[in-house]
Amino acid sequence: MDYRQVGRSGLTVSEFGFGAATFGGRGEFFGAWGSTDVAAARRLVDLCIDAGVTLFDTADVYSDGASEEVLGAALRGRRDRVVVSTKAALPIGDGPSDRGTSRSRLIRAVDAALRRLDTDWIDLFQLHAYDAATPLDEVVDTLDVLVRSGKIRYTGVSNFSGWQLMSSLATADRRGAPRHVAHQVYYSLIGRDYEWELMPLAAEEGVGALVWSPLGWGRLTGRVRRDTPLPTTSRLHSTAAAGPPVDDEHLYTVVDALDQIARETGRTVAQVALNWPSRRPTVSSVIIGARDEAQLRDNLGASGWSLTPEQIRILDAASQVEAPYPYFPYRRQEGFALLNPPAV
């Protein structure tokens, strides 16, 4: 397992982290992801720590807080050996103060997460979405107070656009507050939008990417194929509409390339698909999940080896799509490209 600093901060994490969205299993949506209880979670955490994983990620919205509760119990006795990341901003109730990133919401969210995680501090606290209703000065100042109090140590964001992240960073600079060091983003071989604007911004501003759903919402496990029925156990049956969209033919083209590389390397399709983003610019950690030990062991097999330049070229070619405006001129036209070469 390799270890990397998150952006230009002093926070160090494993190249693969563990996402605890399968812990708890409360509600129809997260119940479809998994329903791992404390005993099973402790075993998964054991396997992760034995493999060198240090980053464990969750959120208050995962199973209505049950994910944090189960993760906290599973980490009991080894809290100081790991990096715990959690998130808040998405709605956790029907009240007007049950969503967003206002001062009152953030303070209550952090205190509640500390109780559920059974810990005195959160290593990385991330804003789970951009809240346009709350002034950035208020958000930044509140996070500053929480850092100074010792309740959180680093801050980050998740699912921000480029202008939202840049505005947040500029506001922190203007007010002398801690900058966000991490951006939790969707990035996979069937979802490379991160590269257009967010990756160059991360490189310029020193923000590390923590990648969620690197298997494309479960589509790059090797079980989803052309002219083959979706497995009955796939969570795609109930959650596909909520996940990142992908054209079926594009998906199958990428899976064909993954099959080729898997045969060449003796690895599984999922391991190849996970290894690819782990080596991309600005990526600090790729967050993997698992319902059971077998799935976790397979995913952890993405660590400790590298794709060859030719294998990367094949995967890049299969997964490449046309850039949206205003980015396509910088790829198509020489004059534009000379002014601003691509980040990857």
Whole-number pLDDT of residue 31: 67
- In whole angstroms, what is the distance from residue 290 CA to residue 179 CA? 32
pLDDT (mean) for 36-41: 96
Record the tokens describing residue 67, joined without a space. 């994910």
- In whole angstroms, what is the distance from residue 127 CA to residue 184 CA? 9
pLDDT (mean) for 27-31: 73
Whole-number pLDDT of residue 26: 80
- Percentage of the residues of the chain whose pLDDT score is greater than 90: 81
- In whole angstroms, what is the distance from residue 9 CA to residue 181 CA? 6
The pTM is what?
Answer: 0.93
Higher pLDDT, 244 or 46: 46
pLDDT (mean) for 67-80: 97
Q: How confident is the model at residue 240 (pLDDT cuts 50, 70, 90)?
A: low
Single-letter residue type at 325: Y
Whole-number pLDDT of residue 228: 74
pLDDT (mean) for 266-270: 98
- In whole angstroms, what is the distance from residue 327 CA to residue 332 CA? 9
pLDDT tens track for 138-191:
999 999 999 999 999 999 999 999 999 999 999 999 999 999 999 999 999 999
Q: Is the pLDDT of residue 236 over 60?
A: no
Q: Is the pLDDT of residue 12 over 80?
A: yes
Whole-number pLDDT of residue 237: 42
pLDDT tens track for 186-231:
999 999 999 999 999 999 999 999 999 999 988 999 888 887 766 6
Q: Which of 3, 62, 130, 252 is catalytic?
A: 62
136-148 and 162-175 helices, crossing angle to 10°: 60
Of 303, 251, 312, 318, nearest to 281 by C-alpha is: 312
The CB density around residue 100, as the number of other CB atoms within 10 Å, is 22
Of 151, 219, 209, nearest to 180 by C-alpha is: 209
Q: Is the pLDDT of residue 238 over 60?
A: no
pLDDT (mean) for 58-64: 96
pLDDT (mean) for 276-295: 96
Q: How confident is the model at residue 344 (pLDDT cuts 50, 70, 90)?
A: low
pLDDT tens track for 105-146:
999 999 999 999 999 999 999 999 999 999 999 999 999 999
Is 62 annotated in the active site?
Answer: yes
Whole-number pLDDT of residue 342: 58
